[in-house]
Amino acid sequence: MFESRLKMLLGVLGAALCIIVVRLFEIQIVRGAHYTQQARQSLNLRPQPLPFVRGGILDREGRLLVSDEPSWNLNLDYDVLAASVEDEPFAINRVLKRWADRFGNADDPPALEREFLDDVEGMWLDVETFFSNFGQVVSSSDLRQRSRQTWERIQRVRRAVSNRRGFDTTIAEERVSHAIVEGLTAEQQIAAREWFSMFPWLHIVPSTKRTFCEDAAPFAHLLGRLSRVDAQAVKEDVNADDPFAKYLANERKGVSGIEWLAEQELRGRRGQIHRTQLGGLVDDVIEAEHGKNVALTIDASLQRRLYAILGDTVDRVPESSGGAIVVMQVQSREVLSLVSYPAYDPAKFSILYNELRDDTVRLPLRFRAVANRYAPGSTIKPLACLAGLVGHQISLETREDCTGYLFEDYRDRWRCWEIGGQGVRMAHGAVNMTQALTGSCNIFMYRLGEQVGVNSLCSVFDMVGAGRSSGIGLREESWGINPTPSWLLSHKGTPANRGHARLFAIGQGELSMTPIQVANLMATYASGRYRPATLLPDADPTPVWRLPGSDAEWNAIRRGIYGVVNDPDGTAYKYARLDDSEYVLCGKTGSATAYRWPTAYRISYTDDKGDENTTLIRAGARGPAIARFERQFPLATFDPAKVEVAEKWPVAPLSEGQHFSHAWFGGYLQERSANDMPNWQAEPEIAFAVLVEFGGSGGRVSGPVAREVSKVLADYLRHKRLDGASVTSTEP
């Protein structure tokens, strides 16, 4: 009996052993490769993105204006970052589980949490100390604030992605580290690796930083800025379905200037590397595709020289807040210079931002050359004359008598321009169209406007791009206003009348243009053709159309423009006449009515303790002032209707009956002939516009600037000719 039981037991054991042997054979021999692969995969790290280098921006001569250069970032794991700013216990518990081996007191959750928070507090102070050793101010409070902003931004992106997919989801940005300090040098990153080795959630990550050329302030507005990707960018991302090109919350994108305009060319594609924990590669490395360089039509040396000329003038005129200069080729309308003054050092934007934002007088953040619209003043008068000629309301023989006043019985309105601030009005006598342009006669233009009418004037304004994009495509651009009868009715609630027509004929009233539009207007006067402007030379050629008018009519207009600067009766003869052996300056002055603007608002409020207070908020408009007040005083109560303007610029108002003016000068260089007169057979190569805010007289203030600009442009043309290159594009 015992023997049979023993045999049975041995049989069972033998069968079990056979099963084990067979199973081991299957695991190690038959399916060995499969299980080996699974074991390797269990050791794989998460695929890591390889960053791309953003393309550079160059001028027309290939000079680098901004580029990506190698740098390093100090990154913090997202779960630690989130736990340090979130109030939810879940976030801290998630971190404690991950880093359980680092902390003791596993059986005492409150003690565990205190130890973690103490470690994070020590980390912030350590980062502050580290950078102070390199002479940099990186405060722990700023680090916490940046971390909170990063967390809030990623949460907004998460909501945007979840809304797009239709369900709540974890996004890639929640599984990676994020920069808390950027732009470490090679020396700093080496020291940081050792300094922060006690914090396993801190990492030194290779990156790039935008590096600007020397003396970059003249290009600050033009080049533009980069900013963190936000929820809106993710929502509108055209590459959302491409895992290597879509925006991630820890990346930057162009938000203004060329950085925004050429975003798709400048931005590259991320690569990817997938490693095991032992450092081996799982798959082939997917190399990053770097962004392309973008060349502009701008000439860097010209931009710097004109920025300096404009700055000297603005700084000398006590009430001037800033200005702009735009230069473009007549034939191609390529923009050679796009100057806005004042500007700032783009490399220090984040440091200077509060100061720049609070400067509500000089407004250094405004891209005046394209973003600010002004009444064009008398620069529009040649175009008004063209409207009268092609509509047959006037002819080359038409003469009007200017006594200084349109209505002798109402001398407080509809007057010609004032002579030197003396309170005396210019009386031109009987003048034809050419003489009226040379002397900038308002009375001639008032009568012309009455005859032509608003509709016909605005039709001609439309031919030169008024009320439309200039063509350069910048995000900051304003289109100006072409106040057609329908526009006046819908925006002002009034039908067009004779008064509107008079004002529009002298470039006042609701009509407004930007400096780049006025520069293009001058190129149109020089050539008789209009085409949109361009900043990118490899873009498709812009369309061209010829304005109406006979050769004789255009010649009469151009002789009037020539006389402005070169005839003793011209408004700019004393200020802008160019002494050059090869070129004469033709141009048009303009004084555009300007109004004081708000620079600060006074807000009375009740604080959270019930006390009554008043504060001054620096802002240029009521809405931004209220928004900024609410950010600074979130617990205060106030009446938005009682928010009042506290300060304006210019500070002192003028006496009754007087007004401020912006000073315009628009012109072009005409080749000089052998008899010292303009060679009207040669088409000018360069046109430009100068604007000085609150400069007053276009002739007296912008005229000297135009003369200096013309000297620079004449030298520029000679230099190009000596180099064997034409400044004029060969495009049709």
Q: Of the ranges 57-61, 70-74, 169-173, 570-574, which one carries the lowest mean pLDDT score?
A: 169-173
Predicted confidence band of residue 390 (pLDDT cuts 50, 70, 90): very high
pLDDT at site 389 = 97
Over range 183-207, report the average pLDDT.
86
The answer to whether 40 and 277 are in contact (CB under 8 A) is: no
More confident residue, 43 or 489: 489
Q: What is the pTM of this model?
A: 0.84
Read off the pLDDT of residues 701-728 as tens digits, 9 standing for 90 and up. 999 999 999 999 999 999 988 776 655 5
pLDDT at site 729 = 47
The answer to whether 195 and 126 are in contact (CB under 8 A) is: yes
Distance (Å, rounded) from C-alpha 377 to C-alpha 693? 13
The fold adopted by the segment(s) 48-295 is Penicillin-binding protein 2a (Domain 2) (3.90.1310)
Q: Is the model's pLDDT at 698 over the cut of 90?
A: no
**Nearest to residue 194, comparing CAs of 279, 130, 252, 277?**
130
The answer to whether 506 and 361 are in contact (CB under 8 A) is: no
Read off the pLDDT of residues 324-333 as tens digits, 9 standing for 90 and up. 999 999 999 9
Q: Which residues contact 622 (CB under 8 A, 6 or more apart)?
A: 598, 601, 643
Read off the pLDDT of residues 613-658 as tens digits, 9 standing for 90 and up. 999 999 999 999 999 999 899 899 999 999 999 999 998 887 766 7
The answer to whether 586 and 668 are in contact (CB under 8 A) is: yes
Distance (Å, rounded) from C-alpha 510 to C-alpha 556? 28
Give φ, ψ of 220 to 5 degrees.
Answer: -55, -50
Q: Is the model's pLDDT at 39 over the cut of 70?
A: no
3-state DSSP assignment of residue 108 = coil
Length of the chain counted residue by residue: 732
pLDDT at site 150 = 84
Over range 513-520, report the average pLDDT.
98
CATH of domain 300-398+423-595+657-722: 3.40.710.10
Read off the pLDDT of residues 397-436 as tens digits, 9 standing for 90 and up. 999 999 888 887 777 788 886 776 666 777 888 999 999 9
DSSP 676: S
pLDDT at site 720 = 86
Q: How far is CA 57 from CA 209, 261, 342, in A?
A: 14, 12, 22
Distance (Å, rounded) from C-alpha 391 to C-alpha 385? 10
Predicted confidence band of residue 6 (pLDDT cuts 50, 70, 90): low
Q: Of the ranges 251-260, 461-470, 716-725, which one carries the lowest mean pLDDT score?
A: 716-725
Distance (Å, rounded) from C-alpha 211 to C-alpha 185? 13
Give φ, ψ of 431 to 5 degrees.
Answer: -135, 145
Q: Report residue 668 as tokens.
A: 């072009």
pLDDT at site 577 = 92
Q: How far is CA 225 from CA 258, 273, 349, 351, 714, in A?
A: 8, 30, 9, 14, 33
Q: Of the ranges 21-30, 126-135, 212-221, which one carries the lowest mean pLDDT score?
A: 21-30
Predicted confidence band of residue 732 (pLDDT cuts 50, 70, 90): very low
Predicted confidence band of residue 49 (pLDDT cuts 50, 70, 90): confident
Q: Is the model's pLDDT at 52 over the cut of 70?
A: yes
Over range 66-94, report the average pLDDT.
79
Over range 339-358, report the average pLDDT.
93
CA angle 264, 267, 268 (to 5 degrees): 115
The answer to whether 640 and 593 are in contact (CB under 8 A) is: no
Q: Report residue 43 as tokens.
A: 């050791």
Burial class (CB in 10 A: 0-12, 13-18, 19+), 218: buried
Q: Of the ranges 75-89, 101-115, 460-474, which one carries the lowest mean pLDDT score?
A: 101-115
pLDDT at site 622 = 93
Predicted confidence band of residue 503 (pLDDT cuts 50, 70, 90): very high
Task: List, as one string, the DSSP characters of 112-181.
Answer: HHHHHHHHHHHHHHHHHHHHHTTT----HHHHHHHHHHHHHHHHHHHHHHHHHHTS----GGGGSEEEEE
CA angle 676, 677, 680 (to 5 degrees): 140
Q: Is the model's pLDDT at 313 over the cut of 60?
A: yes
DSSP 26: I
Q: Is the model's pLDDT at 323 over the cut of 60?
A: yes
Q: Is the model's pLDDT at 731 over the cut of 50?
A: no
Domain ranges across the chain: 48-295, 300-398+423-595+657-722, 597-649
Over range 180-204, report the average pLDDT.
87
The fraction of the chain above a pLDDT of 70, given in percent, is 88
Q: Which residues contact 412 (CB under 8 A, 6 or more apart)?
A: 657
Q: Is the model's pLDDT at 63 over the cut of 80?
A: yes
Average pLDDT across the chain, whole number: 87
Residue with tokens 């533009």: 224
The helix/strand count (H/E) of the chain reads as: 25, 22
Read off the pLDDT of residues 147-167 as tens digits, 9 standing for 90 and up. 888 888 888 888 877 887 777
Distance (Å, rounded) from C-alpha 427 to C-alpha 678? 28
Q: Is the model's pLDDT at 93 over the cut of 50?
A: yes
Q: Is the model's pLDDT at 174 over the cut of 60?
A: yes
Over range 214-240, report the average pLDDT.
90
pLDDT at site 105 = 57
Predicted confidence band of residue 100 (pLDDT cuts 50, 70, 90): low
pLDDT at site 456 = 96
The amino acid occupying position 373 is R
More confident residue, 386 or 117: 386
Predicted confidence band of residue 281 (pLDDT cuts 50, 70, 90): low
The amino acid occupying position 198 is M
Q: Is the model's pLDDT at 104 over the cut of 60?
A: no
3-state DSSP assignment of residue 693 = coil
Q: Of the ranges 343-352, 407-416, 517-526, which one carries the lowest mean pLDDT score?
A: 407-416
More confident residue, 421 or 546: 546
Over range 449-468, report the average pLDDT.
96
